[in-house]
């Protein structure tokens, strides 16, 4: 939306050529002025096109180099010298230095009055200003259209189309930068840290040849912040209700039919996945991340426990990509898809395993971990045999002596081997828990301090639960 050196050179009516071809052609010209003084940098500045008959151009090479350097340092966009008028011969040193600095040195034909160039620059910038105002008005109209339905995704699409590119929310890569100010990533991409939520930025990627005005990007950022602020209260209520429901699902405290009735208003549909990751160091940031995901159009239930964010989502590749983008490639464990809400606790265990099983960044799906342990083989008969072999002594003890070792092992692993939490959930004394754990190790000949043993125990319980063997002991 700004007038550039390239546009001036591309207009045949202006009869102007470049004496430094290809140099500085994307420089923006905001105004044009005739200046015959030897020091235009003291009088003219950012974005100025200096037009001169050559009276102010010095003769010596060193002086000409100095003329270019000072003009460039002052922010002057370019200098255009009248053809065959008063300028001394331009030295090779001057032109070479202009090339190094990216400073355009132009030449306007003798028959073309400078006032024509000035009028062209003025007219172009007037059009640019009118276009800027029109786009700002359309941005405002788009915001008012989407405020009532809290639809951030469509708003970003509309804003991006108006600005000639794409807009998306990303984690703020420059946490120390000033909120609301444009940070240029490269020639095509810019980011604006949001005022709120503070962990995110609005990223614009230009897809057209037209350069976008930074002021319009700031206007778009303000619109996005306004929409997010307007939806915060509604989102928090929805997240709070969803968090309570999700907690009950994970604790086996709700029946399948009831769960489906309660989840319907949240519009999270089967097949489901459970995702888990430790995104931040504060619970406030966990809530902010959940709000950000919901604001981006994602339908989800969430819960924050032990600085871990856990989500229940619809199994959708596009949604998974959105989550990966908004979490900046953080490592996330994802369960296998499932359709029965009663399987949510098992899916949480799958997600935890996926989070710890592989070292790669991004979303790690449980099904991608199938080769890590024999208990995850695609051969269902093999997995069942492996699970039964490892857990048989515990199952037999529970049946014969009512020892509840299998349930103790499952709760112990679900509570990340925390003795106090495990004993509290089981309603037993901590010393009783220690005695049961010792008995488990004695019967299975596996030590619970071993990571490989813990992994195999967990996976064996997973297989056993799916096969509905020893169901009473497991639940």
**What average pLDDT score do residues 85-100 get?**
95
User: What is d(CA 195, CA 183) in angstroms, rounded to the nearest whole number?
Assistant: 14
Of the listed ranges 246-250, 355-359, 421-425, 442-446, the least confidently predicted one is 355-359
Residue-wise pLDDT for 156-202, tens only, equals: 889 999 999 999 888 777 766 666 688 887 878 888 888 776 677 88
User: What is d(CA 136, CA 196) in angstroms, rounded to the nearest whole number?
Assistant: 21
Residue 252 has a pLDDT of 80
Of the listed ranges 113-117, 300-304, 351-355, 371-375, the least confidently predicted one is 371-375
Tell me the CB-side half-sphere exposure of residue 413, using CA atoms within 13 A. 29
Nearest to 76 by CA among 103, 37, 38, 56: 103
**What average pLDDT score do residues 245-263 get?**
87
Whole-number mean pLDDT of the chain?
Answer: 84
Residue 445 has a pLDDT of 85
DSSP classification of residue 4 = B
Position of tokens 């492996």?
A: 386
Residue 303 has a pLDDT of 80
Residue 307 has a pLDDT of 67
By the 8 A CB rule, do 276 and 332 touch? yes
For the chain, give percent helix, strand, coil, nearest 5: 55, 15, 35
Residue 469 has a pLDDT of 34
Top-ranked range on mean pLDDT: pick from 62-76, 298-312, 446-460: 62-76
Residue 320 has a pLDDT of 86
Of the listed ranges 263-267, 287-291, 440-444, the least confidently predicted one is 287-291
Residue-wise pLDDT for 33-91, tens only, equals: 999 999 999 999 999 999 999 999 999 999 999 999 999 999 999 999 999 999 999 99
Residue 36 has a pLDDT of 94
Nearest to 411 by CA among 402, 419, 400: 419
Of the listed ranges 253-257, 329-333, 455-459, 468-472, the least confidently predicted one is 468-472
Residue 83 has a pLDDT of 94
Flag whether pLDDT at 319 surpasses 90. no
Percent of the chain with pLDDT over 90: 34
Residue-wise pLDDT for 396-448, tens only, equals: 998 888 889 998 998 888 788 889 989 988 889 999 999 999 999 999 888 89
Of the chain, the end-to-end C-alpha distance in Å amounts to: 65
By the 8 A CB rule, do 200 and 222 touch? no
Residue 471 has a pLDDT of 38
Instruction: Give CA angle at 308 (305, 286), nearest 5°.
Output: 90
**What average pLDDT score do residues 206-215 get?**
80
Q: Which positions ≥6 away from 352 have C-beta within 8 Å?
A: 276, 333
Structure-block tokens of residue 433:
């828990």
User: What is d(CA 305, CA 278) in angstroms, rounded to the nearest whole number?
Assistant: 10
DSSP classification of residue 101 = H
**What average pLDDT score do residues 445-465 get?**
81
Flag whether pLDDT at 375 surpasses 60. no
User: What is d(CA 384, CA 35) in angstroms, rounded to the nearest whole number?
Assistant: 88
Residue 297 has a pLDDT of 65
Top-ranked range on mean pLDDT: pick from 160-174, 233-247, 378-392, 424-438: 424-438
By the 8 A CB rule, do 422 and 432 touch? no
């Amino acid at each position: 939306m700004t007038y550039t050196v390239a546009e001036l050179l591309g207009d045949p009516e202006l009869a102007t050529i470049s004496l430094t071809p290809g140099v500085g052609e994307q420089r923006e010209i905001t105004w044009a002025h005739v200046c015959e003084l030897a020091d235009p940098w003291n009088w003219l500045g950012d974005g100025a096109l200096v037009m001169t008959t050559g009276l102010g151009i010095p003769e010596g090479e060193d002086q000409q180099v100095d003329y270019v350097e000072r003009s460039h340092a002052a922010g002057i966009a370019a200098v255009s010298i009248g053809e065959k008028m008063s300028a001394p011969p331009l030295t090779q040193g001057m032109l070479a230095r202009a090339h190094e600095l990216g400073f355009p040195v132009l030449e306007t034909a003798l028959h073309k009055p400078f006032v024509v160039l000035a009028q062209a620059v003025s007219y172009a910038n007037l059009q640019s200003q009118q276009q800027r105002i029109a786009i700002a008005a359309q941005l405002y109209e788009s915001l008012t259209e989407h405020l009532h339905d809290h639809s951030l995704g469509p708003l970003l699409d509309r804003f991006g189309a108006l600005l000639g590119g794409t807009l998306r929310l990303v984690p703020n890569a420059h946490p120390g930068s000033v909120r609301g100010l444009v940070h240029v990533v490269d020639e095509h991409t810019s980011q604006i840290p949001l005022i709120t939520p503070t962990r995110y930025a609005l990223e614009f990627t230009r897809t057209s040849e037209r350069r976008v005005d930074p002021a319009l990007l700031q206007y778009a950022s303000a619109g996005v912040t306004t929409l997010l602020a307007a939806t915060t209260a509604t989102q928090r209520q929805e997240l709070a209700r969803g968090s309570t429901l999700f907690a009950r699902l994970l604790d086996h405290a709700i029946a399948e039919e009831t769960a489906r009735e309660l989840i319907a208003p949240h519009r999270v549909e089967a097949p489901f996945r459970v995702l888990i990751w430790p995104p931040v160091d504060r619970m406030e940031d966990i809530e902010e991340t959940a709000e950000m995901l919901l604001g981006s159009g994602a339908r989800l239930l969430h819960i924050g426990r032990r600085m871990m964010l856990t989500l229940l989502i619809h199994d959708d590749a596009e949604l998974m990509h959105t989550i990966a983008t908004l979490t900046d490639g953080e490592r996330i464990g994802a369960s296998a898809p499932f359709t029965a809400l009663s399987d949510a606790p098992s899916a949480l265990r799958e997600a935890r395993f996926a989070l710890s099983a592989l070292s790669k960044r991004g979303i790690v799906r449980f099904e991608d971990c199938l080769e890590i342990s024999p208990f995850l083989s695609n051969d269902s008969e093999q997995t069942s045999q492996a699970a039964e072999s490892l857990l048989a002594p515990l199952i037999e003890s529970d049946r014969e002596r009512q020892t509840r070792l299998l349930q103790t092992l499952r709760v112990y692993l679900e509570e990340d081997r925390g003795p106090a939490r495990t004993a509290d959930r089981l309603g037993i004394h901590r010393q009783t828990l220690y005695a049961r754990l010792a008995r488990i190790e004695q019967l299975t000949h596996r030590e619970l301090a071993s990571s490989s043993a813990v992994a195999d125990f967990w996976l064996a319980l997973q297989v056993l639960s799916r096969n509905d063997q020893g169901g009473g002991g497991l639940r």
